Amino acid sequence: MSDPAPNALRRDVSPEPIPPAKHQPVAPVRPALRGAAADATERLARAVTVERLNAWYGEQHSIKDLTLSFAPNKATALIGPSGSGKSTVVRCINRMHEEIPGARAGGRVLIDDADVYGPGVDVVAVRRAIGMVFQKPNPFPTMSIFDNVASGLRLTSRKVGHDDVERALRGAGLWDEVKDRLAKPGIGLSGGQQQRLCIARALAVEPDVLLMDEPASALDPISTLKIEELVEELKRTVTIVIVTHNMQQAARVADDTAFLLDGELVEVGATERIFTNPSDSRTEEYVTGKFG
């Protein structure tokens, strides 16, 4: 961690809120969070601001000049019909978009005021600050439950203790269910548990932002409910961007909702307003089920 980029993306450790404008690089690991203070349930997360984002898949221009911001410690839902670019936006925030052959993106994505697409920024550092949960649960099949949670820290050359794993599993509401079988394979869990394991894995690296790409779409209603309750909990420590095709879900979990159509932002606002009193007729048609 000798290069300055990772530091630039790391949030200050101090429990006091930091003025967002004066962002100072700090020690690489947040010691306060690893100790007793880590049990503090509230933590100021960082805001995400997307400015004039454009993304392409080969020739296909799938995100067009999108500007959108996500408030810290809030859950923001991205809704829209298939192909509207919800997942792409999320994948642009942690620069996973560029992993797809032929895909590229341009514009600015600010985590507080550090640009993820800034010159010389290490993508690896970006992803360490931004956690991600995928549509289908994807625990590492060769690893135990414990090792799965520890993997994020181990893959980024950091030491892992039992406490780190327990904290992450508690954070994902899975601890009581797995505490007696931490050495068992992660893929032996049910689908819903696997998804919470993946959330624990993402939380273990203590990100500032958690991106959730349709995290419950492969799960049964009860598991879905658990994930939704979890989102409420997680907001206390991270900023959440959740993609969903389920409008009831958006209404249940999100503070703010953004409606996307064909790669453009139609409307964004408080969830309640978007669902009850949208200002754009297309939003109204979508949320009332007339299309999409």
Which residue ranges make up the site for another protein (CB under 8 A)? 94, 96, 99, 101, 124-128, 131-132, 134, 136, 138-142, 144, 151-152, 154-156, 183, 198, 201-202, 205
Least distance to another protein, CB of residue 132, Å: 4
Token reading at 217: 């779409």
Which CB sits closer to another protein, 136 or 273? 136
Residue 215 or 278: the one with the smaller Cβ distance to another protein is 215
Give least dist CB 186 to another protein, A.
Answer: 11
What single letter denotes the amino acid at residue 177?
E
- Secondary structure of residue 32 in the 3-state scheme: helix
Shortest reach from residue 159's CB to another protein, in Å: 15
Closer to another protein at the Cβ: 138 or 255?
138
Nearest CA among 124, 126, 113, 130 for reference residue 51: 113
Structure tokens at 149: 């949670």
Nearer to another protein, 237 or 283 (CB): 237
The partner residues of 145 in beta bridges, in order of sequence, read none
For residue 278, what are the CA distances in angstroms to 85, 264, 273? 20, 16, 6
CB of 211 to another protein, least distance (A): 8
Question: What is the Cα–Cα distance from 169 to 173, expressed in whole angstroms?
Answer: 6
Cα pseudo-dihedral 119, 30, 155, 77, rounded to 10: -70
164 or 267: CB nearest another protein = 164
Distance CA 14, CA 219 (A): 37
Provide the minimum distance between the beta carbon of 115 and another protein in the complex, in angstroms, as a whole number: 17
